[in-house]
Structure 1
Amino acid sequence: MSDIVLTGIVLFAVFFLLIVIGVPISISIGIASFAAALVIMPFWDALMVLSQQFITGIDSFVLLALVFFTLAGSIMNTGGIALRLINLAKLLGGRMSGLLAHTNVIGNTLFGSISGSTIASAATMGRIMGPMQKKEGYDPSYSAAVNIASAPTGLVIPPSGTPILYSLLTGGTSIGALFIAGYLPGFLMAFLVMVMAYIIAKRKKYTVETPVPFSEGLKVVLQAIPALFLIVIVIGGIAAGIFTATEGAAVAVLYSILLSLCYRSLKLKDIPIILKDTVIFSGIILLLIGASSAMSWVLSYSNIPQAISSGLLGVTENGILLVLIMVLLLLVLGTFMDIAPGLLIFTPILFPVATSLGIHPVHFGIIMSLGLAIGTTTPPVGTVLFIGSKVGGVSVEQVIKPLLIFYIPMVMALLAVAFIPEISLWLPRLFGLID
């Protein structure tokens, strides 16, 4: 048995075994990487090299953007931004059947793009929209299913930490281009989920809201504009080259603080909690990045990505079939891990396959982000599935049946993004961010 095969077997066997028995994923990555390194080098050499790779992996100025965007999302979540965005979402939903379901989708799209987290989005929207929908006679399982299905929409719409991780892992793919590229795919999936929600709401005869007076609608819009302006400032500044992604993230923090103070919804007692949550989340992500950097080195040193790429290309040279295989793999991977570890572990493996097929790095980044995000909504252990059902007040078993139909628009959006590159690449090209 060759060293490549043996290293790969040890690496993935130890990793999945540790995951199954409940070891935290960052620890599982580190132990699996060390076990695999022992196949190709002595103990002390492996320990020294992997320690160096761990430190090198987190020694990046770009990662400050991840910390700042996390902090900005926490401030906005606590600072009353979510409720104003929900009011805007309800207004945008118009008088369609199942208005509150459409409000949920639009709210997840708006708030998810600001918070940068499917879990935070599903939890926040579920807590606010669930009681409102129950009061209007909505089936709680349907409400939870809509919330779960729409949670991933905001993840590919900037600002988000996902493009930052992907850029770091692929050797500097433009963060600005990745940010801009996420808009159309995110809106496409939101639209398709809304279409399905409308069809079901029409069949169940859910209520149509009365028209909102112009003065009240104008008030809702004016209250929400400052929150939406954050996206204009940050993404516009990055796209125009006024500041880098890291500087943009710092601007987002400053703006969210000023906005929360203007709304008078941020209290002094909230600040320690916000900082604590940000430190904990950032620490978890940095530990994951360090451990994944060690794993990436083992993969690269052993030529495992190249071997997997050659193996896939050896099975078939049909590009469509290979893309389908990667899409299916991403959906499966998302069922048992969040998007950050999924990106960190499998980008080094799948990226060489994508480049060999001529897929643009920006396009592949959106495919990976969307595929892994959808995977978090699927059983048996999708994180968003569990959070969404919990805040929706229903069991996972109860929500699965109504959720199954929503996988159709979600997967349709993913396949459209995977096989129509211009959905991802048209806007970055329009802004001159890619050739």
Structure 2
Amino acid sequence: MHDHRRLGRELDLFDTDPLIGAGLPYWLPDGALLRHALEEYVRAEERRAGYRHVYSPVLGKRELYEISGHWSHYGEDMFPPMDVGGEQVVLRPSLCPHHALIYRSRSHSYRELPLRMAELGGMYRSELSGVLGGLNRVRAIHLNDAHIFCAPEQAAGEAAAALEMIRRAHRALGIRPVRHRLSLPGPGGKYVAAPEMWRRATALLTDVLDRSGLAYEAAEGEAAFYGPKIDVQVADRAGRESTLSTVQVDFHQPERFGLHYTGPDGARHRPVMVHRSIIGSVERAVAHLIEQHGGAFPAWLAPTQVAVLPVSGAELPQAERLVRRCADRGLRAEVAGPERGSLGARVRAARLVPYQAVIGAREAAGDLVALRLRDGRRLGPRPAEDVLALIGAVVAARGTGLWDDAADRPQDPPFTTV
């Protein structure tokens, strides 16, 4: 595996500045493209699974976090409150209290449940400078978060569905978890004192894991302060584990915020709050993807998907037209012209780009493209529209492969490896 801190800077994905501060990276244009592709993938998957997206503020009154329990159980990891107009406001450490309030702002019937609420939102944690590093541990976090408000009998099914969403996303991203963990409370006063609540939530998640067929380990002292969770663990190049994705069951906050729904009997009932994150924080997900793929990202995720290489300046107008045609198809392409050096040098410089479209005199005259794939395969000249259609299909499928050989025309010459 590669060190994402070094490679991320070499690839111009992100950087830091002491005037901004430790644990507060900024994203460069290619990093922003990668991040945008990742975020849009997650949002599309969530919409497909019936989630509704919201936005909520990154600030809240101190009282909000006193009600949620964060102030008493998580206060050491929060930034100090700010005095504004006679009130104390706090940078939020989590999105769940805001989502609880959004749920509470409207009345709900059992017919609406489960209500799946998602947000890719910012949150802030006062991490000590000694634990900060690259994108893996930061102070400004953008979390792919969601909260499912459901009837108690729906909670296990929703948790299982969230776990399956995580598995699908990891396959699309080429992520290989090192283990699954059932995170349980440990000794000390960090956790909400409600034994029956913990028993119910732990039994529910244990059943979900047992039915999933996944091997898992129980780990005491790793639960959230309000409930147990399923943590999907990944490892960095040094073998250090971190949690990427998570599913949690929460009976605590629905009670603290007085959440309810009207049941079929006309009475008020308390919902269960299932927390889940498919990719965790965008920062940690990108850090892991850089290390996992060494910058050779799946085609749908790559900042530049097609590098267009005119052999000489004479083919530059055709190359620029091809880039515009790529943009019309939603593909990210750029011209690597002769001013950047010899064709061989440009091919080497674009070694991490999934597709290299070479245009010489023959290709320019016939609206053809000679395609090179990142894995070393190359394809003889063929119509540019056919090439773009096939690349577009591979990108739309959001897999980890570079070419759909089954979709290739039988009359075309086969791939050769160079």
TM range (shorter): under 0.3
**Normalised TM-score (structure 1):** 0.22
Based on CA coordinates, which of the two structures has the bigger radius of gyration? 2
**Normalised TM-score (structure 2):** 0.23
1 or 2, which has the higher strand percentage?
2
Which has the higher relative contact order, 1 or 2, with Cα contacts under 8 A spaced 6 or more apart? 1
